Structure 1
């Protein structure tokens, strides 16, 4: 039994180190991309560098992002906003399930398991989340609830 306990502890430490490395990488990515976006805004060019806004009329700048409630580090919030914007920009018509799935998978892969995402224009919720793992925001008229729950290993 002690061997199993020691193995679980070793795996837990390994997963914790992976999550910390992923967080550092994600924070660096957010800082780098936000710096590039700011430079593009100052120069007045779009992502393609053509100078025209195209059919979306600078969608990234016109999308109204509002944080409704948050218990999440700012870097993770920025990553959620960025990911949501990218998915919304890629869809001609809103697909709530696709947006929710993409955000969930993105956060699961970057920050570890047990992220949940609810997307819609009208919904109620009451959830329990881990500390630092809750974000409720809107982009235009789409509301997004992203939260993390604790995962415990089963002791067999």
Structure 2
């Protein structure tokens, strides 16, 4: 998508992991138009590629407070949609 806009709002991920996650989010938005479908795709792919257990919150407007494993949190805005991604397996 040539007019794609991506902004990382907050992250404590290492750059390599963040690059994988961003690639998966971009692919999900290319394939799906509905937020719940984007979230489902991202979760399935991250669980496969980076190990379980990933949680995805996706939408234009939401509030949140979550617990997560240190080094595995990313909040970004991609094409006007906020996507919160974090790993929490406990």
TM-score, reference length from structure 2: 0.91
If each structure's helix is expressed as a fraction of its own residues, which one has the higher value? 1
Verify: 1:150 aligned to 2:89, yes or no: yes
1:90 Cα offset (Å): 2.2
Q: Which has the larger radius of gyration?
A: 1
1:110 Cα offset (Å): 1.5
Which 5+ residue runs of structure 1 have no aligned equivalent?
1-58, 152-156
Q: Which residue of 1 aligns with 2:42?
A: 103
Partner deviation per Cα, 1:64-93 (whole Å, 9 max, x = no partner): 1100000111112111221111121223xx
| Over 6 Å off, 4+ runs | none
Which 5+ residue runs of structure 2 have no aligned equivalent?
none
Aligned to 1:124, which of 59, 63, 81?
63
Verify: 1:72 aligned to 2:8, yes or no: no
Looking at both structures, which has the greater relative contact order when contacts are Cα pairs under 8 Å and sequence separation is at least 6?
2
Partner deviation per Cα, 1:117-151 (whole Å, 9 max, x = no partner): 00000000001110111000011201000001133
- Number of matched pairs: 90
Verify: 1:86 aligned to 2:27, yes or no: yes
Q: Which residue of 2 aligns with 1:21?
A: none
TM-score, reference length from structure 1: 0.55
If each structure's strand is expressed as a fraction of its own residues, which one has the higher value? 2
